[in-house]
Each structure stands twice: as C-alpha cells, then as structure tokens.
Structure 1
Amino acid sequence: MKKIILASSSPRRREILSRFFDIIVHPSNVNEDKIKEKDPTETAIKIAKAKAFDLAVKFPTDTIIAADTIVTLNGKILGKPKDSEEARKMLKQLSGKTHEVVTGYCIISGDKIIEGAEITKVKFRELSDDLIEWYISTQEWRDKAGGYGIQGFGAILVEHIEGDYYNVVGLPIIVIIKLIELGHKLKRIF
C-alpha cells in the first residue's frame, strides 16, 4: 500500500490526518507568499497544488496530501499575523462579523490528481477589548490564518459556524473521504 505523505508542518493537519491514517510528515519547500490569485479560493487551491507537486517529484509512488487555509473577510485575505498588534487588528476586524475559512487541498496518488476547496462560514461574537487582550495573551494567535484557532481558546470568540469544523482547524473531512475512496485503509484504533 502506498504511504500517505502530508506536505505540511501544521500540527493541526498532522493531528487530524493521523487520527485516521498512519502518515509521514514532510513539509514542502514552496514559498506560499509568491502565489496570489484574485480569488482567495483559487489562491488556496494553487498553493495546495504547488505543495503537492513539490513532494510528488520526491515521492512518486506514494500519496501526497497538501492543503492551504485562508481566512477572508469581505473578500480580503487575512493571513497569519506577524505580531500581536496585527493579531489584535484582525480580531477587531472579525468582531461581530461573519468571515469565510477556505481550505484548498490537493491529493496526488499515481496518475490521479484530486483538488478542491472547502468553505466554512464563521460568525464571531462581539469581542470586547478585554477579551481580545486576553486572547492575545494566550499566544494562540501565532501561526494561524486570521489570528485565531477555533480548536483552542479561540472557541470563545466564535458565535457559530456553517460548514465543516475541521476545515476551520485546517483540514476538511472531505480529504479523509477522498483517501478512503483511493483505497487507503483507516487505521485500527483498538
């Protein structure tokens, strides 16, 4: 059976995928900052494809999975904040509003290439300055698109979501389904 190679250093993607399969983590060397499209969904897919193809050359007999998650507010991409001030600004922008979390994915297995995107709508509650400052102090905003992590302390910021929770975390469940369809067996947990 082919090995599953995750083209990402994201601990969240690794955690989600390793719940279902035995995987090997091998981050790609793609410079994501150089890939920009007008449409955020196309940007996420294009970055995921670049990551997947980067590793497909190195591991041609295995199954490669790559993903990229983007947070958008009114069509504007909110990347990973560089510092606490930028994180604070993002959280204030998101306060009381609905934004979209887009994860583009690409799976390469032999001559099969599966690509797509999952979009989840996330509504933030009205955030007080005190709540924003508390969240900033957790340091959880680091290395997260939009400056928050729904799977941790950031859950308190969210009023509700429409769509796949795991997409907001970083890897939509549709990727797991596609791997099963490609013949990969779920790992035994007991």
Structure 2
Amino acid sequence: MSRRATPVLRLASASPRRRELLADIGVAVDVCPADLDETPHPDEAPQDYVLRLAREKANAGHVDDTLPTLGADTVVVLDGQVLGKPRDGEHARRMLAELAGRRHQVMTAVAVHGPVGLVTTCVVSRVTLRDIASDEITAYWHTGEPVDKAGGYAIQGLGGVFVQHLEGSHSAVVGLPLCETAVILQRQGVPLWNLPVS
C-alpha cells in the first residue's frame, strides 16, 4: 500500500495544473489558495502585473518558514494588452479570433516566500496559433476547456491542436516554469523528487 508524500511546500493557488506540475517533479504541496483582487493597476505593464500577483499570492499564503509558500500567475499578452480568462462564450470566441494566426506572449511569474526571503522570476514564452475557423472556436468553447484559461485556450489540453509554434517553456505556458521554479525551490531548501514510498 502506498502513502502520500508529506507536503514540503505551500501552494497559494487553486490551479490543478500547478499542483500536477509540482507533483511531476516530486514536490508534494499543501494547497492554500490566496483570494486576491487581480485587477491590473492603471498603466501597469503586463510583466509588472504578473510579478505583482505572484508576490502577493506568496505573501498572502505564507505562514512561517517551516513550509515555504509558492505563488504564481500566468497571463496571455497580445500587442501589449493582457488577455484574461473569458467572461463568457462571446468573450472567449473574440479572444481566440484575435489570437488566431498570430504570435503572442505568455508570461508566467513565480514567487516563493521562504527562509531566504521572497525570490521571484518571470518566464516569457512566445506562442503562435494557426488560423482557426469560427465554427472551430465555437466547438472548442462548448468542450468547456476554455472557461478558466488565460487567453481562452489550454496548450496542454484540447487547445493544443491550435498551437503551431512555441518558443520558450511549455510548462510555463501551462502555468509553472519547472526549470526556473526548481532552482528557486532548491534555494529555499525545498527538496525535489520527494516521492511517496510504496
């Protein structure tokens, strides 16, 4: 009979994708989502915005250094504008129509509050989607997948069929850049590959 690994990190995010990515590198987490106002500040640059949210989540979820706290946020940026999660089907269709056939940026910021203080990073990837017909966009919306996804698509799911080219980190586009995150976690004393024993 197998047992669960003891949490070595507090995850200030409700994202199942981030939890799964951390599990992939053997980091068991205690999930404690941070409830924050995610409204951008006036004239706030996209990278400043995503870094601020990651820092605020890590700080809001941090209790003490016995369990470092990770906060992260991901945004899709087109022509310097942040595309958030779709409000409804029409908004999702409009966003995907704007992204179709073009290259956009996906910015994922990570902040870990732990024994060495607050350490942050931001990874910028560039994604090109192929042309997407309007009936495909409508059919994709009806799968339910775009509902809670920045930019209205998921590279790791059904929306992966739209991705023509990726320059950067696949895991960052999903929601957590594993290479950069692992470096920060090790600086904070969080062990990797801490797998449960059978």
Q: Tell me which interval the TM-score lies in, with the shorter structure as reference length.
A: over 0.9
Quote the Cα distance in structure 1 between the aligned partners of 2:42 and 2:14.
21
- 2:75 touches 2:84 (CA, 8 Å); kept in 1? yes
Q: Does the aligned pair in 2 maintain the 1:36–1:43 contact within 8 Å?
A: no
Gaps of 5+ in 1: none
Report the Cα offset of residue 60 of structure 1: 4.2
Query: In the alignment, does 2:133 pair up with 1:128?
Result: yes
Matching residue within 15, 18, 24 for 1:13 = 18
Distance, in Å, in 2 between the alignment partners of 1:59 and 1:111 is: 12
Between the two proteins, the alignment pairs up a number of residues equal to 189
Correspondence for 1:27 among 12, 28, 33:
33
**Per-residue deviation, 1:166:** 0.5
TM-fit CA distance, 1:129: 1.4
| 3-state SS, counterpart of residue 134 of structure 1 | helix
- Report the TM-score, using the length of structure 2 for normalisation: 0.89
The verdict on how the C-alpha distance between 1:46 and 1:54 changes in structure 2, with shifts beyond 3 A counting, is: same
Asked if 1:71 corresponds to 2:86, the answer is no
Are 2:89 and 1:91 equivalent residues in the alignment?
Answer: no
What amino acid is aligned across from residue 157 of structure 1 in structure 2? F
Please tell me whether the aligned partners of residues 7 and 30 of structure 2 are also in contact (alpha carbons under 8 angstroms).
no
TM-score (norm. length: structure 1)? 0.93
Alignment of 1:160-171 (within 5 A): 160-171=165-176
Which contiguous aligned blocks of 4+ residues in structure 1 show a shift greater than 4 angstroms? 34-37
- 3-state DSSP class of the match of 2:44? coil
State whether structure 2 residue 118 is matched by structure 1 residue 113. yes
Deviation string for 1:107-159 (max 9, x for gaps)?
Answer: 11124221120001000001111221221111110111000111100001110
| Matched ranges for 1:46-85 at <5 A | 46-56=52-62, 58-85=63-90
Identity rate of aligned residues, in percent?
A: 35
Q: Kindly indicate whether the alpha-carbon contact (under 8 Å) linking 1:9 and 1:26 is maintained by their aligned counterparts in 2.
A: yes
Residue 49 of structure 2, aligned match among 43, 49, 74: 43
Aligned 8 A contact 2:68 2:188 in 1: no
Distance 1:83 1:156, change over 3 A: same
1:2 and 1:61 in contact (8 A); partners too: no
Structure 2 CA distance for partners of 1:2 and 1:13, relative to 1, 3 Å = closer
Q: Distance in 2 between matches of 1:2 and 1:82?
A: 34
Q: In the superposition, relative to structure 1, how do residues 55 and 189 fare at CA in structure 2: closer, same or farther (>3 Å)?
A: closer
Deviation of 1:37 (Å): 5.2
State how far apart, in whole Å, the 2-side matches of 1:42 and 1:75 are.
Answer: 12
Cα contact 1:103–1:172 (8 A) shared by 2: yes
Q: 1:108 to 1:83 in 2, by over 3 A?
A: same
SS in 1 for 2:87: coil
Q: Is the 8 A contact 1:17 1:176 kept in 2?
A: no
For structure 2, the residue ranges without an aligned partner over 5 or more in a row are 1-5
